[in-house]
Amino acid sequence: MSVRSLIESIGVYTPEQALSTEEVLRGCTHRPKVDLEELTGIQSRPVVGKGEYSIELAAKAISQCLKLSRHSPADIDMLASCSISRYCGPNYRFSAEPSAAANLAAQIGLSRNAITIDITNACAGMFTGILLADSLIKSRSIRRAIVVSGEYITHIMANAQREIGDGIDPQLASLTVGDAGAALILEATEDTAVGLDDIELVNLAKYCDLCIGTLSDKRHGGYVMYADSQPLLALGRYIAEHMAIRLKERHLGADDYDHFIIHQVASKYIDFVMQSLAAYLKIDPIPQEKVVDNVRYRGNTASTAHFVALWDFMKQGLIKSNSKILFGVGASGATHGVASCILDDLPDRVYRLYKDVERRNASHEGTRYGK
Amino acid sequence: MGSKVESIGLYQDQHTVGITTVDFADKAVVDCFNHSRHDKNEVDYILHISNYRNYRSKEIVEPAMASFIQRDIQINHDIEPHHGHRTLSFDLMNGSLGFLQAAQVIDALIATQRARVGLIVSGNSRIPAGRAIELRIPFYEIGCSTLIDESTEGRGLSAFYYRSFPEYIKDYEVYLDFRDGEWRVNSVQIQNILELFVQVIRTGIGEYLQRGGIALSSFDIVIAPQISTAFIDEVREVLGGQDERFINATAEGDDLFSASIPVALKYAIDNNLAQPGNKALLISVGSGIQVGCATYTF
């Protein structure tokens, strides 16, 4: 009997503090002459609080994920940490060793025989982690894996605000990012009615120079990202083409899916990829209610973006149990790809959890206002 | 379907200043394909495993370093989705355990028929001048590239095992930070880190042998971490193995780090120390503190 990987649980952590696009622009030494909100659809994005770094975001996401799971840390055979930002302390501390995965495993008390791996593949990091975990699950080397990412990336926004010049600047895209952590538990299942039924990622390495994250050479230090945004966004056509090819190879159509989650960069980018997909498939535009666009209050949260969107939509009851989801992956490198999965009752569990939290908050608020 | 090492390429240069991680890796990949029966465009996955990430005088956070190597060597670097062979490149980092974990990942990708050929690359280049502080275990500058492909009849890689010792996690740390207007690489390694490595290897390998119900003597070759001759001797002593079974491919006294296993495998093959059917015990140790091991059948 063959097995596949089920998304058994999910956890997302987004910092409470947020920064509006207007505030971001107002904070620039040289205010860019673009309407960034109109261009991207991003109104605000979560920003870490004092003392929160990438590893804390990842740890909080794992904690949330374990709350929804039937499993304890001792049941987990592998932890893959997939953050771009390995930012783990003050003074722009960036860890090389030990791995973030080893640190997280130690924090949560994972089995001492668990595989701990750090993966770096830009915004495709979590999907690369899923691909590896799925391969190890299918080959029966492991039964369960945590795939996690914590992205504290608004520090590149702070540097862009200082360094950006007049006109179109390669750091403009840095003004669109937001901070978040996301974690999944993947588990082996023999039930073919649920789980991950396709994943394929590809690198068009001739475009690897289009987006580079590196250290700032300025006196203020920190990290910077230089992106050649127009050609990078145009690569979205490869995501659409890849999705269309995989659907055709698997004799499926867009109608077979309840939702489409494309890398959450900007609303216009999501629209472009979805229009391109419809064109490749030679079908009418895919109904807007099937397309997940979560950038308005999240911005681009890098490798966590798809799962922050999935979480937010499940929380609101917009993605329901047993939904079939098609993910479109795009990242610098340039990586593009596709993943397809059928959820079990996870959306109901997320929705119920969130409603419980809302009810508890409402009862606290009632007490406060009552006074 | 199992997996085996098909070709190993190396590039060594201890004299030229400023060779980056990617330079070392690129040259090792070229050497690897010079000895391989595979064409470079057959590669399905490229995994870069160096923790040090310099390219063209920059430390790279994004994209994956593997994508620069894929582009430089031109491995399906311009293949669009609807054309031909598709290659994915990414970085997998876990210090000196990186090779073993990358090999396990490729083994799983081959087992699930997602890959036929995978490439593991590393470039252990020194930290740029002005940023480095002394490492207790300096590493040898080397580029290494290992091609892994399908195997049958039980040959190749098997029985991977990992053991973490999180109580020692703070005893070995390497990190970058920015203070007083400059970037620094900082290293925290306790005075007796090598003794600790030997101690955890004894525990980890003891568990591995016990779980497998096997004795160390069932291995024809043991590849311990290639840190130094003295370190290999210490490991041999605590494991109770015979001298000639422990491969020593250490170079000029410095740690071969993430290149330890492939360099030692190549040494064993080139020096006729391994015959078809022989079994090797592969051992890695590093930050975490973690021990990893696996069996390799020639």
**B73 lies within 8 A of chain A by CB:** no
Q: What is the pTM of this model?
A: 0.95
Joined together, the tokens standing for residue B62 give: 């994004």
Q: Looking at residues A254-265, what average pLDDT do you find?
A: 97
Any idea which residue has 């004799």 for tokens?
A251
| pLDDT on residue B188 | 85
| pLDDT value at residue B130 | 53
Mean per-residue pLDDT for A271-275?
97
| CATH code of the domain made up of B158-297 | 3.40.47.10
Check if the beta carbon of residue B264 is closer than 8 Å to that of residue B249.
yes
Q: Rounded to a whole number, what is the distance in Å from the CA of B211 to chain A's nearest CA?
A: 12
pLDDT value at residue B136: 62
Per-residue pLDDT of chain B in tens (298 residues, 90 and over written 9): 899 999 999 998 877 777 888 889 999 999 999 999 999 999 999 999 988 777 777 788 899 999 999 999 999 988 776 677 889 999 999 999 999 999 999 999 999 999 999 999 998 876 654 555 556 667 788 899 999 999 988 899 999 999 999 999 999 998 888 888 888 888 888 889 999 999 999 999 999 999 999 999 999 999 999 999 999 999 999 999 777 899 999 966 688 899 999 999 999 999 999 999 999 999 999 999 999 999 999 9
The answer to whether A280 and A238 are in contact (CB under 8 A) is no
DSSP symbol at A92? T
Is A2 part of the contact surface with chain B (CB cutoff 8 Å)? Answer: no
Interface subset of A 102-121, CB within 8 angstroms of B: 102-103, 105-106, 110, 112-121
Please, what's the b/e burial string for B23-55 (b: 16 or more CB within 10 A of its CB; e: otherwise)? bbbbbbbebbbeebebebebbbbbbbbbbbbbb
Q: Which residue blocks in A164-262 are alpha helix, DSSP H?
A: 229-234, 236-249
Q: Above pLDDT 90, what percent of chain A?
A: 84
The neighbouring-strand residues paired with A326 are A260, A340
Residue A301 lies in a domain: yes
Chain A hits for B95, CB-CB cut-off 8 Å, are 96-99
B99 at interface of A, judged by CB pairs closer than 8 A = no
Within a domain: A371: no
Compute the nearest-CA separation of B62 from chain A (Å).
5
Mean pLDDT estimate for chain A: 93
Minimum-distance CB partner of A203 among B52, B89, B169: B89
Of B290, B107, B233, B265, the closest CA to residue A97 belongs to B290
Q: Report yes or no for ipTM above 0.90.
A: yes
User: CA B272 to CA B295: how far, in whole Å?
Assistant: 19
User: How much of chain A exceeds pLDDT 70, in percent?
Assistant: 97
Counting one residue from A and one from B, how many pairs have CB atoms under 8 Å apart? 229
pLDDT at A167 over 80: no
Nearest CA in chain A to B175: A95
> Which residue, among B47, B54, B62, B86, would best test binding to A if mutated, counting the most A CBs under 10 Å from its CB?
B62
In this complex, do B104 and A141 lie within 8 Å of one another by their Cβ atoms? yes
pLDDT tens, B154-205? 899 999 999 999 999 999 998 888 888 888 888 888 889 999 999 999 999 9
Whether A213 contacts chain B with CB within 8 A: yes
User: Phi, psi (5° rounding) for residue A171?
Assistant: -100, 5
Query: What is the CATH classification number for the domain harbouring A224?
Result: 3.40.47.10
Q: Is the pLDDT of residue A291 over 50?
A: yes
| A202 closest CB neighbour out of B88, B161, B164 | B88
Contact between A120 and B91 using a beta-carbon 8 Å cutoff: yes
Give the pLDDT band of residue A366 (cuts 50, 70, 90).
very low
Exposed e or buried b for every residue in A123-140, given b needs 16+ CB within 10 A?
A: bbbbbbbbbbbbbbbbbe
Q: Is the pLDDT of residue A368 over 60?
A: no
Residue A321 has pLDDT above 70, yes or no: yes
pLDDT value of residue B244: 84
Least confident of A62-76, A135-149, A291-305, B2-16: B2-16
- A309 CB neighbour count, 10 Å cutoff: 26
Per CB-CB distance under 8 Å, the chain A contacts of B107 are 139
DSSP A286: P
Contact between chains at A202 and B177 (C-beta distance less than 8 A):
no
Put simply, the answer to whether A139 touches B107 (Cβ < 8 Å) is yes
3-state secondary structure string across chain B: CEEEEEEEEEEECCCCCCCCHHHHHHHHHHHHHHCCCCCHHHCCEEEECCCCCEECCEEEEECCHHHHHHHHHCCCCCCCCCCCCCCEEEEEECHHHHHHHHHHHHHHHHHCCCCCEEEEEEEECCCCCCCCCCCCCCECCEEEEEEEEEECCCCEEEEEEEEECHHHHHHEEEEEEEECCEEEEEEEECCCHHHHHHHHHHHHHHHHHHHHCCCHHHCCEEECCCCCHHHHHHHHHHHCCCHHHECCCCECCEECHHHHHHHHHHHHHHCCCCCCCCEEEEEEEECCCEEEEEEEEC
Per the CB < 8 Å rule, is A135 touching B114?
Answer: yes
Chain A neighbors of B80, CB-CB under 8 A:
204, 238, 241
Structure tokens of A129?
A: 């982690």
Q: When comparing pLDDT for B152 and A19, which is higher?
A: A19
The average pLDDT across A188-200 equals 96
> Could you say which DSSP state residue A71 is in?
-
What DSSP designation does A29 have?
A: S
Does A246 map to a domain?
yes
- List the 314-333 stretch of A: residues with Cβ below 8 A of B: 331-333
Residues of A in contact with B176 (CB under 8 A): 92-94, 96
Task: Give ranges for CATH 3.40.47.10 in chain B.
Answer: 2-152, 158-297
User: Does the residue A367 lie in any domain?
Assistant: no
Question: What is the identity of the amino acid at B93?
Answer: M
Q: Residue A96 is encoded by which pair of tokens? A: 């090389």
What is the number of alpha carbons within 13 Å of residue B3 lying toward its C-beta?
Answer: 30
- Domain residue limits at A23: 4-362
Q: Choosing among B45, B61, B135, B174, which should be mutated to test the A contact, i.e. which has the most A CBs within 10 A?
A: B61
Give the C-alpha separation, B81 to A320, whole Å. 31
CB–CB contact A221 B178 (8 Å): yes
Residue range A122-134: average pLDDT?
98
Residue of chain B whose Cα is closest to the Cα of A89 = B177
Per-residue model confidence (pLDDT) at position A72: 96
Confidence tier at A78 by pLDDT (50, 70, 90): very high
Tally of domains in chain A:
1
CB contact under 8 A, B80 and A115: no
- Residue A369 has a pLDDT of 33
User: What is the nearest CA distance from B24 to chain A, expressed in angstroms?
Assistant: 18
The verdict on a CB contact (< 8 Å) between B164 and A113 is yes
Pairing outcome for strands A115-120 and A211-215:
unpaired
Q: Which residues, 6 or more positions from B82, have their beta carbon under 8 angstroms from its beta carbon?
A: A241, A245
Write down the architecture of domain B2-152 according to CATH.
Answer: 3-Layer(aba) Sandwich (3.40)
Residue A368 lies in a domain: no
